[in-house]
A and B are shown apart, each in its own frame.
Chain A
Amino acid sequence: MNRATASLPRSVAAHAILISYTVIALFPVFVILINSFKTRRSIFGAPMMPPTPETFDLVGYRMVLTQGDFLTYFQNSFIVTVASLFFVLLFGAMAAFALSEYRFRGNRLMGLYLALGIMIPIRLGTVAILQMMVASGLVNTLTALILVYTAQGLPLAVFILTEFMSGVSDDLKNAGRIDGLSEYRIFFRLVLPLVRPAMATVAVFTMIPIWNDLWFPLILAPSEATKTVTLGAQMFIGQYVTNWNAVLAALSLAILPVLVLYLIFSRQLIRGITSGAVK
């Protein structure tokens, strides 16, 4: 069909632009990663060179693992992310099901109310959130973070899942009703399995900002025992700012898990975005 637009010079130009932008996008990450495995001297001597047997050195990683408590940080980030994700998906799917399946007074209003949070960032309520957490004794606990992130993730989750759930065939649900399934069973047994792809998309969208957030860990849970990786890396780097090996190693440690997860799930994520789920 598009023979006219697929001519050779045109596609060479397209590749040239895309390749140069890919280089721009990956270069900083690449430089950080390769230099984290090098001796201090070669970090400065030849920053663009990948590590060779002579310049290979793990001193930065040793420093990070002995000085900072990165294992705890990872564990905290993991707990917070997984727990928030679980609640966002469960509560979000339940609310989306109610909004898409049942007709009741205030349905649209409820949908709008829940969608408000997509546009208005939860950060603006920080002053009162902190006060509330202090009052309930939740400061410096992971529970505080999980609660905040659950609330933060719900609006978008409800919005996306509502669109998807209204696409689930009514016949199927009605067949379930005739067979005597309760509404809860219809939701958990029939509808949830059908919207699994949408759930995966929502999961990725919810996960990235939670894992990467600095604001709430800094304000609600800055204690040593509850630091997340993002905050831990930030503080560690702030402390060891002149120790380049350690800084580069800490950055690489923070990059790697996200990068690996992304490469595993990128297909899902990109399909989710391009399927028009997020408009």
Chain B
Amino acid sequence: MTASDAKPRKPFRWHIIVFLAPAVLVYTAIMIVPLFGTLQFSLFRNVSGGQTFVGLDNFRTLFGDPNWSRGFWNALWNNVWFFIIHMLVQNPIGILLAALLSSPKLRLSSFYRTAIFIPTILSFVIVGFAWKLILSPIWGVAPNLLDLVGLKSLFTPWLGKEEYALTALSLISVWQFVGIPMMLIYAALLSIPDEVIEAAECDGVTGMAQFWKIKLPLILPSIGIISVLTFVANFNAFDLIYSAQGALAGPNYSTDILGTFLYRAFFGFQLQVGDRNMGAAIATMMFLIILTGVCLYLFLIQTRLRRYQF
């Protein structure tokens, strides 16, 4: 960000305000104010029709009341597992695909890029239902496919079993979003200058060794950014679970993550009445979790990653 240097001092420059005002106003009014408004709501409770300040009581309920705290910890752990699967599966696959795509002289590479990115542009609703149908034992696409490779015995209705449902959904989400790490790493790999690669080749570092020793260290900053983007997206996820498993995040809450937990607390479901203040308390917890993650990244990881300027 370089502003043009050394402007002579002028009278008040109204045009700066005019240029900035619309964006700042909309952003502040619709995003920042409600964000703090929500944090504030979490300190109030509806007592006989009016909002009363109750301090941290809502959080005491969230962590102290077994009904709430069981749900919260369950959602949080599920969310952590959801994130771990993304980190362990999505990013390595993304890096592998990007490394293959970036090799020079690869034919059809733009076809592969376009095709592999397609799931990423689809909405969660489509992805959720499409996979629900494919994995459904009624339709039988998945068992048939497994039968082709002789593994039919492995099939179970994954989305309907408590022990598999969350992992299955995480993998579906990975399937959908693998395009993003692939593209960002691909961009990072392309930006490595030829001289560096040529120098490596002169020193006899080629193939896999070249990837591990030369390219991987150079794309670490991109991997860091992808990780933090994945973190924010995962701890904010809702749509996929909601469209595949409904607001109850079945079977037996085994796929409940913070987003669906917030939705149920805020709007209520079946027997539970929606509670705005408890919803706000959960949103506040999500805010703190995301903020912690982002700060950890900014202050601990990003500052330690060496950035190479070419």
Contact = CB atoms under 8 A, between A and B. Distances in A.
Interface residues of B, number: 104
B239 interface: yes
Interface stretch (B84-92, B113-121, B155-163): B113-121
Interface in A107-159: 107-108, 110-111, 113-114, 116-117, 119-129, 131-132, 147-148, 150-152, 154-155, 158
Contacts of A107: 1, 3
A263 to B, nearest CB: 7
Q: Which of B123, B186, B287, B290 has the most CB of A within 10 A?
A: B123
B14 to A, nearest CB: 9
A98 B124 CA distance: 36
B68 interface: no
Interface stretch (A56-64, A193-201, A270-278): A270-278
Contacts of B117: 262, 266, 269-270
Contacts of A208: 120-121
Contacts of B106: 11, 14-15
Interface of A: 1-2, 4-6, 10-11, 14-15, 17-18, 21-22, 24-26, 28-29, 31-32, 43-44, 47-48, 87, 90-92, 94-95, 97-104, 107-108, 110-111, 113-114, 116-117, 119-129, 131-132, 147-148, 150-152, 154-155, 158, 162-163, 166, 170, 173, 182-184, 187, 208, 211-215, 219, 230, 233-234, 237, 244, 247-248, 251, 254-255, 258-259, 262-263, 266, 269-270, 273-276, 278-279
Interface stretch (B59-67, B71-79, B94-102, B248-256): B94-102
A151 B130 CA distance: 31
Contacts of B144: 47-48
A92 B23 contact: yes
Nearest to A174: B4
A270 B24 CA distance: 29
A128 B29 CA distance: 11
Given A148-B30, A270-B114, A6 B23 contact: no
Contact of B2 (A166, A244, A275): A166
Given A121-B290, A123-B236, A151-B30, A98 B19 contact: yes
14 contacts: A1-B201, A47-B139, A87-B22, A95-B24, A99-B20, A101-B4, A122-B30, A124-B236, A124-B287, A126-B38, A184-B18, A214-B124, A248-B133, A251-B129
B35 A124 contact: yes
A98 B19 CA distance: 6
